[in-house]
Homo-oligomer: A and B are copies of this chain.
Amino acid sequence: MYTLVHKDKNTGARAGVLATEHGNVETPVFMPVGTQATVKTLSPAELHEAGARIILGNTYHLYLRPGDELIKKAGGLHEFSQWDGPFLTDSGGYQVFSLAELRKITDQGVRFQSHIDGSYHFFTPESVIDIQRNLGTDIMMLLDECSPYPVEKKDAARAVRRTSDWARRSKIHVGQTAPPHGFKQAVFGIVQGGTYKDLRRASAESLIDIGFDGYAIGGLAVGEPKEHMMEICRWTADLLPKNQARYLMGVGTPEDIVNAIYLGVDMFDCVMPTRNARNGTLFTQNGKIVIKNSVYFDDFRPVDAECSCYTCRNFSRAYLRHLFKANEILGLRLATLHNIHFFMQIVTDARDHILHDDFASWKKSFLDRYNQKQGGYS
């Protein structure tokens, strides 16, 4: 499903196209997070306007509420939410680790309590495929065991072994089940292994041996130092097939994204642009700004003078600050729209410069400017 269009001459950065049943996705790509069948505060029309190409949904949340059976009955997640571009869903495993109560992992699967009502549930490699079949997403992720940081090697090794076993079961189950909504659903495996390079190699080789449509690098951005993250990202990306998509899960900041693109990663997702927006933190070419700060009281400039989003084309920092101070929902919307647009602009610009073989110099100038001064003054 992935076509490598061009590799930058001087770095690992790749420009590609990911073919899905709901359209082609140019990579590198950032996927806004639409946890509960909506990217928080935005309409599908606004997602398109902000440049979104593919949305991530959370299997854990949708399974619990409103339930994958309801979404199946609605005709799938596209029909339910009216986002007509591609959807990728995670397996729910990571949310079980981070949100659910009283989780218990065995070789069979993971038992957990809902964070909503305390009810008991059990995810298996097979059941999360069934759920994602019901949701009707374009890319399904396998159930994996994500090691925390730090983790002892024997525990990381057990997680790798279990992730591989589950991947084998998943592959069989995918083959035995049909997509219910009339279009093919791709499947990505997830490489684990913590910060242990030999475990990462074993995990990647085992998954490639089973064979999936793409590969994710999991278990990073879980608290490890940034240099470990980037070193393991580089190591793992280099183990993955050149002709398939590479997805770094849960990453990240603008810096992380451009640095991982440099290493050959194609896909990203993170709640940062949406969550930060709702806290009033806005991204600009010149760094982040905290829109509630009093300095913006009578600042009638747009958030980012070089940005072409609806927010920046129409509204001032002073108006946005007012909306945030007055707890007006329009403020959350305009900030989210801008931040998503900003993240999409990063991957768009990255791709342009990969195609022109000058990704490294663009990355340097982007990061120099972005990090030079926090505050958004140009």
B-contacting residues of A (Cβ < 8 Å)? Answer: 36-38, 40-45, 61, 65-66, 70, 73-74, 80-82, 297-298, 300, 310, 314-316, 318-319, 321-323, 325-326, 328-330, 332-334
Contacts and interface: CB of A to CB of B under 8 A. Distances in A.
A81 to B, nearest CB: 7
Nearest to A278: B329
Contacts of A328: 36, 38, 40
A70 B297 contact: yes
Given A70-B297, A298-B70, A82 B332 contact: no
Contacts of A334: 43
A235 to B, nearest CB: 39
A330 B80 contact: no
Contacts of A44: 314
Chain copies in complex = 2
B333 A74 contact: no
Nearest to A44: B314
Given A65-B322, A65-B325, A318-B80, A330 B298 contact: no
* Consensus secondary structure, chain A interface: helix
Nearest to A331: B38
A183 B66 CA distance: 52
B333 A37 contact: no
A273 to B, nearest CB: 15
Nearest to A69: B298
Given A42-B330, A66-B297, A66-B321, 12 more contacts: A38-B330, A40-B328, A41-B330, A41-B333, A43-B310, A45-B310, A61-B326, A65-B325, A70-B297, A70-B322, A82-B319, A329-B333
Given A66-B297, A332-B329, A74 B37 contact: no
Nearest to A37: B322
B40 A70 contact: no
Nearest to A319: B80
Given A80-B316, A80-B318, A319-B81, A330 B43 contact: yes
A109 to B, nearest CB: 25
A36 B322 contact: yes
B65 A319 contact: no
A43 B310 CA distance: 10
Contacts of A310: 43, 45
5 contacts: A41-B330, A65-B322, A70-B297, A70-B322, A73-B298
Nearest to A332: B329
